[in-house]
Amino acid sequence: MTPIQFVLLCLVAIGGTVAVLTRDPRRQVLLVGLNGLLLSLLFLALQAPDVALAELAVGSVGVPLMILIALARIERRPK
C-alpha cells in the first residue's frame, strides 16, 4: 500500500465516522458529500479512475442534493 492510499483510507474512515456521529441533517449532508469526494480520490489512488468518476458524480453531487431537496420538502410539510 502506498502512503497516499494509506492516508486516503484513513481520511475516508474518519470522514464516514464523523458523518455518522453528526446529528444535524444539513451538516450531515455536507459531510456525506465531502466523504464522497474523499472516496473518489481513494478510488483514483487505487487505480480505478472509472469508479472514481462515478463516485464523484453520484456521491458528492447527486446524493447530497437529493437529500437536501428531501429535507426542504419535509420542512415545508404543513403541521
Q: Which of 13, 36, 57, 64 binds another protein (CB under 8 A)?
A: 57
CA atoms within 13 A on the CB side of 57: 5
- Which residue do the cell numbers 494509506 mark? 6
Pick 10 or 54: Cβ nearer another protein: 54
**Residue 3 found at the interface with another protein (CB under 8 A):** no
Grid coordinates given for 45: 489512488
Q: Which of 4, 7, 10, 61 binds another protein (CB under 8 A)?
A: 61
Closest to 42 (Cα-Cα) out of 25, 27, 59:
59
3-class DSSP assignment, residue 48: coil
Pick 20 or 57: Cβ nearer another protein: 57
Q: Which residues bind another protein (CB under 8 A)?
A: 1, 49-50, 53-54, 57-58, 61-62, 65-66, 69-70, 72-73, 76-78
